[in-house]
Chain A
């Protein structure tokens, strides 16, 4: 297999060129160039992954490394799948992923659609809109705690200003009903620009002549939107949705700083549960099993995402 490819490569190289290549062969060079990256990833990602798989079958606790490690078989996995708290965390995650993606897609697509009108100054304002997504979710998420302060926060003040309810009557981060939405708001604020930027690329990839043909056929604007704009931008929208889905499925930093999973466990998404189990309760074996389950889920999604990437790939 290896040899045949090398032979093909050699045959594909024009004869005078092949003779010119001195020293290291192309095949050797290719591996010399690629192997450091692969080795690094094997050492930092794959080796730990296998270690985690091993640990997931044991009762190992990282804070009691002297204890005898027992093999538990699939007991950790069985316990996770039967654990009420894990299912609640998964539901919280699903709720968070669903609402953030819905809001980001609707707002992001609308913004892209408006920017595509190419009004004067659209490039400048687009750059301004893009700023939040480049910032650190942790550092900015931390600052949103200040905006959400019940007495004095800017967010509460603005809501109070427009609705008339007293600003100290509601706590965005402290109330069981509002805390999940507080996170959804920050995430939407931060990542709508991401969806917008990709949707904009989708809209700009639609050739003008299709609209001209539709105009000749006297298709209404409404009809053009549903039959041309939306279907042709759809692969791009899917790309954005998939990526945001994966990212929010493993969301940690912003939630950890805004609520830390609280109040109680109302905003405890999967990553927060994992962190509590692994680094607070030190149930290393159990949390490794949970980590493996999350890996498998993300890996499946990533596979679909790469297919979507190849679909929109230009050139």
Chain B
């Protein structure tokens, strides 16, 4: 490791670095074009969004965001003129298109559902995962390897295959289209990741801390609470973010098991339609609002990403 200096005979030459850098920057720029396009489209008017050739320079508008949060009805111009002054910028844009805002759209409730279900399931998965990971890390559990494999294997089940019996089970239990049902389901899917990831993090905390605490008179439980948990905070936070991202992004279960009150944002966003087809600026606005938290989390997590996607096996 210490040999990785400018003097190393195997260090890449300046020229090869320059070529590598150019290719990587080019790839990075191309690969974020679709994301920039989503962002740009969210600030276009519907006609601008489907203009040919595609408009790179355009007059920004918040019509997409207005349309995302409202439902509108078409009205006769005489009726619109008979109304009082517009109550806000969204009202104004709607009136320009001979529309009147009829009420709020379903986006906000769906977004709130996403928040409740993602945070609820993340809390449960991390809670259960921390306990199990500690159990597997510190105690001799019979058949530990088999149990760990069993836990991980549940994550690989094809979601549609799981959804068939879950659909029937939830129908019997009255959990169909409820936030509680979705939280339970996402907790079950996420707990496998949480156990594996957290086991890696807890394995890294030296046992000596707890042993010292126990010699000082703490019970095992107190030692866990007072010495292991505080040291595992980074690991727990990283695990929580991974669970949150999974639950936030999930579509297959959500689209099959929720339809109304508990529907989350991913199955809702594709259904945003305007007059004559998909309202792309509104879809783009919804997508932007939906993606921004993930972007923030990705940047926060960048050092732990590798660990997260390999269930804790590869640590760099």
Contacts and interface: CB of A to CB of B under 8 A. Distances in A.
Interface in B23-50: 23-25, 27-28, 31-35, 37-38, 41, 50
B161 A295 contact: yes
B309 A275 contact: no
A149 interface: yes
A33 to B, nearest CB: 4
A249 B159 CA distance: 11
B80 to A, nearest CB: 29
Nearest to A127: B302
Contact of A45 (B10, B138, B157): B157
A314 B156 CA distance: 23
B158 A23 contact: no
B165 A49 contact: yes
Contacts of A249: 158
Contacts of A231: none
A152 B51 contact: yes
A9 to B, nearest CB: 5
Contacts of B32: 128, 131-132
Interface stretch (A24-32, A69-77, A97-105): A24-32
B2 to A, nearest CB: 9
If over half of B's interface residues share one DSSP class (helix, strand or loop), that class is named, otherwise mixed; here it is helix
In order of increasing CB-CB distance, the 9 nearest A-B pairs are A138-B251, A291-B161, A48-B165, A136-B249, A119-B21, A33-B135, A44-B188, A30-B139, A250-B158
B290 A139 contact: yes
Contact of B8 (A45, A139, A197, A208): A208
B135 A29 contact: yes
A50 B254 CA distance: 22
Nearest to A48: B165
B41 to A, nearest CB: 7
A90 interface: no
A252 interface: yes
A129 B27 contact: yes
A16 B150 contact: no
A147 B34 contact: yes
A193 to B, nearest CB: 8
Contacts of A257: 251, 270
A85 interface: no
B20 interface: yes
Interface string A102-135: 0000000001001101111110011111111011
B17 A119 contact: yes
Interface stretch (B60-68, B94-102, B209-217): B209-217
B313 A313 contact: yes
A239 B288 CA distance: 32
Contacts of B305: 130, 197
Contact of A62 (B3, B168, B269, B313): B168
Contacts of A38: 147, 151
Contacts of A167: 52
Interface string B232-275: 00000000000001001111100110000000011101100000
Interface string A24-59: 101101111110111011011111110110010000
Given A2-B142, A34-B131, A130-B305, A201 B220 contact: no
A170 interface: no
Contacts of B27: 111, 129
Given A143-B284, A197-B305, A295 B214 contact: no
Contacts of A303: 149, 153
**Residue of B12, B270, B280 contacting most chain A CB atoms (<10 Å):** B270
Given A36-B131, A129-B24, A51 B168 contact: yes
24 contacts: A26-B220, A37-B151, A40-B187, A41-B154, A47-B169, A48-B165, A62-B171, A111-B24, A117-B20, A125-B24, A127-B298, A130-B305, A131-B31, A138-B249, A138-B255, A138-B270, A151-B52, A157-B52, A209-B3, A256-B255, A284-B168, A291-B160, A302-B152, A302-B156
A253 B313 CA distance: 27
Interface residues of B, number: 114
B141 A142 contact: no
A299 B139 contact: no
Given A138-B267, A295-B157, A37 B287 contact: no
Contacts of B152: 302, 306
A236 interface: yes
Contacts of A24: 219-221
B266 A215 contact: no
Contact of B306 (A147, A198, A215, A310): A198
A135 B248 CA distance: 9
A154 B24 contact: no
A288 to B, nearest CB: 6
B53 A129 contact: no
A119 B244 CA distance: 33
A198 B140 contact: no
A249 B161 CA distance: 12
Nearest to A2: B142
A39 to B, nearest CB: 9
Nearest to A288: B164
Given A157-B53, A212-B10, A5 B314 contact: no
B123 interface: no
Contacts of B3: 208-209, 212
A198 B309 contact: yes
B158 A215 contact: no
Interface string A64-87: 000000000000000000000000
B294 A142 contact: no
Interface string A2-23: 1001101100100011001111
Contacts of B302: 126-127, 130
